[in-house]
Chains A and B, each alone.
Chain A
Amino acid sequence: MTKHTTAKELATVRPDVEEPMRRKVFKRVFRHMGVAVLGTVVAQAAIFSRPARAAKILRPPGALPEKEFDSTCIRCGLCVKDCPYDILKLASWADPAPLGTPFFVARQDPCRMCTDIPCVKACPTGALDPLLTDIRKADMGVAVLVDHENCLNYKGLTCSVCVRVCPIRGEAISLKPIQNERGLLQIPTVNPDKCTGCGTCEKHCVLSEAAIRVLPRELGLGVSGANAAGRGVW
């Protein structure tokens, strides 16, 4: 408001230097730039404070690492359409993943590891890496036997369902005997180098909540090496 009056005063005092048209244009441009800068800052804060993708959200085979996947996938759903088992879904706002990105939840419907990998072939952007031609090299996550309390095999029974359903059983998951105070236990043991994270084991675990779960690799596995912070405590 104050600016407006000054402009008017200026115009009456020195009409020769006043350029109303140009001034108006500048004013408009600056106002829009103000809106843009403010909007960008607010929206950027909003985007950065998005919750991270939930651990149960698994990407289709060949998906780039999450950050690159987020920028490369254009949310088209072509992979979703070409999955013959209909396991994939594009995230809605209600799902704990970036809006519109494809995912599956192992406990609901695991990846069947099609040998011709139609989902990867369908992807127009390379968000699902076309260099993945052998489904056994896929890395959707890694299975981890998270619950040693309720797993039936840990209780001394021989359920072993997870081992028996694995499409690459014997390699990705196998029974390893361990001896403890309960006797000789046959423990389902995952080989992280071979496990593709398809989720079949999690899907079929007989417990009402699975004792074995597929997690994104960075959540499921530790990395060897020293943790400086861990040593400094005592």
Chain B
Amino acid sequence: MAGLFRRMVSGLKSRRWLLIRRTLQILIVLAFVVDIPEVGRIAHGNLSSSLWFWNVPLTDPFVLLQSLLAGAPLAKTALIGAAIVAGFYAFFGGRIYCSWVCPINMLTDAAHWLRQKLKIKGNLTLSRELRSVLLVMALVLSVVTGTLAWEMINPITLFQRELMWTSAAGVTFLAALFLFDFLVSRRGWCGHLCPVGAFYKWLGRYGRLRITALKIDACSGCSDCIKVCPEPHVLAPLVAQKAMTVTDSDCTRCGACLDKCNSGALAMKLDMHRGVSFRGIPIVKS
């Protein structure tokens, strides 16, 4: 009994970050759909734009940017909402959105998990920069067509709409996305294609919440962290002992590396230092 309990505790502990962020992701999804008795609904709208706690407007800066490029006039509430969101991600790190907020992440993580479990080897290799290409395309297309180009397929808000008004077409698209990540391309969607991720990556380029090597000497160089990281290239300089922090803004701050590494070498820290890298080249530790 005690043994089982201890195993459970250590099991939970080794999935600490995963559990925390999954909880937050689920809470955010629920906040939009569940009516709490006496209180009501905490969030109204969807991830394009929402009203939290009956007062705080939040707007996705990427969606608003598309809208402005398509020719929309400026509107106060939307701009305030977008400024709050953009400010947060610019300071802490853009792709926090991917791991802690975006509901599609749960879908693609599940696909990846299943892929690992079933040991599926086949992989369509895509360029990680494809998402930036898609980002540019979405913005250019918004200008050219006068509509919000990415919102015509954006699975993030699609997911939220599907929760309320299930439609065969929407569910099929989400299923296709799942299968793509599961069978076709390893971390295909979030790691290679999604322009929303690319937008937040650029927005949070100088994000200050970083994976930091507290005790780099404790690192045995096993690269287990790289194996679990959804964006493995960001950890490479650190494991090769060329850098003290992960500065690549592809890092989604998911904490998978922290959950995996039991040497205590890594930590998630607010890092206000400048000059950990020079022109993108990480500086070798002393």
B partners with A: yes
Binding site for B on A (CB under 8 A): 28, 32, 35-36, 39-40, 43-44, 47-48, 67-68, 70-78, 81-82, 89-90, 92-95, 98-100, 122, 124-127
Chain A: minimal CB distance from B82 (Å): 9
Selected from A36, A47, A89, A92, the residue in CB contact (under 8 A) with B147 is A47
Residues of B within 8 A of A48 (CB): 145
Are B148 and A36 within 8 A (Cβ)?
Answer: no
CA distance A100 to B50 in the complex (A): 14
Residues of A within 8 A of B167 (CB): 92-95
Are B137 and A71 within 8 A (Cβ)?
Answer: no
Are A36 and B78 within 8 A (Cβ)?
Answer: no
Residues of A within 8 A of B153 (CB): 99
Selected from A40, A75, A125, the residue in CB contact (under 8 A) with B72 is A125
The chain B residue sitting closest to A47, CB to CB, is B145
* B57-65, B117-125, B212-220, B224-232: which lies at the interface: B57-65
Known contacts A92-B169, A100-B161: A72-B72 contact under CB 8 Å: yes
Chain A: minimal CB distance from B215 (Å): 34
Chain B: minimal CB distance from A38 (Å): 10
Looking at B59, B146, B161, the one whose CB has the most chain A CB atoms below 10 A away is: B161
CA distance A35 to B195 in the complex (A): 14
- What number of residue pairs across chains A and B have CB atoms under 8 A from each other? 139
Residues of A within 8 A of B151 (CB): 74-75, 99-100
Please name the 10 residue pairs, one residue from A and one from B, whose CB atoms are nearest each other, closest first: A71-B70, A76-B49, A93-B169, A92-B167, A72-B72, A124-B77, A126-B75, A78-B45, A76-B48, A76-B45
Binding site for A on B (CB under 8 A): 41, 44-46, 48-51, 57, 59-60, 63-64, 67, 70-73, 75, 77-78, 81, 127, 129-130, 132-134, 136-137, 140-142, 144-149, 151-153, 157-158, 161-162, 165, 167-170, 173
21 residue pairs A–B, Cβ–Cβ below 8 Å: A40-B140, A47-B147, A48-B145, A70-B147, A70-B148, A71-B67, A72-B70, A72-B71, A74-B48, A74-B63, A75-B148, A76-B46, A76-B59, A81-B41, A81-B44, A92-B165, A95-B167, A100-B48, A100-B157, A125-B49, A126-B73
Residues of A within 8 A of B146 (CB): 67, 70-71
Known A-B contacts: A76-B45, A93-B173. Give 13 more (CB < 8 A).
Answer: A39-B133, A39-B137, A43-B149, A44-B144, A44-B145, A70-B147, A74-B59, A74-B78, A76-B48, A77-B48, A90-B165, A98-B152, A124-B59
Chain B: minimal CB distance from A119 (Å): 12
Are B133 and A74 within 8 A (Cβ)?
Answer: no
Chain B: minimal CB distance from A61 (Å): 17
The chain A residue sitting closest to B152, CB to CB, is A99
Chain B: minimal CB distance from A60 (Å): 14
CA distance A35 to B131 in the complex (A): 11
Chain A: minimal CB distance from B55 (Å): 13
Chain B: minimal CB distance from A24 (Å): 13
Chain B: minimal CB distance from A224 (Å): 29
Are A93 and B48 within 8 A (Cβ)?
Answer: no
Are B73 and A81 within 8 A (Cβ)?
Answer: no
CA distance A30 to B95 in the complex (A): 27
Are A71 and B49 within 8 A (Cβ)?
Answer: no
CA distance A72 to B81 in the complex (A): 15
Residues of B within 8 A of A99 (CB): 151-153, 158
CA distance A182 to B56 in the complex (A): 63
Residues of B within 8 A of A36 (CB): 133, 136-137, 140
Are A78 and B50 within 8 A (Cβ)?
Answer: yes
CA distance A163 to B245 in the complex (A): 72
Chain B: minimal CB distance from A14 (Å): 29
Selected from A43, A71, A95, the residue in CB contact (under 8 A) with B141 is A43
CA distance A126 to B46 in the complex (A): 17
Residues of B within 8 A of A77 (CB): 45-46, 48, 161
Known contacts A35-B133, A40-B137: A125-B45 contact under CB 8 Å: no
CA distance A70 to B149 in the complex (A): 10
CA distance A28 to B71 in the complex (A): 32
CA distance A61 to B23 in the complex (A): 38
Selected from A28, A47, A76, A92, the residue in CB contact (under 8 A) with B50 is A76
Chain B: minimal CB distance from A74 (Å): 5
The chain A residue sitting closest to B146, CB to CB, is A71
Residues of B within 8 A of A90 (CB): 161, 165
Residues of B within 8 A of A124 (CB): 49, 51, 57, 59, 75, 77-78, 81
CA distance A20 to B145 in the complex (A): 39
Residues of B within 8 A of A73 (CB): 67
Residues of A within 8 A of B49 (CB): 74, 76, 78, 124-125
Known contacts A39-B137, A82-B44, A90-B161: A74-B168 contact under CB 8 Å: no
Are B51 and A78 within 8 A (Cβ)?
Answer: yes
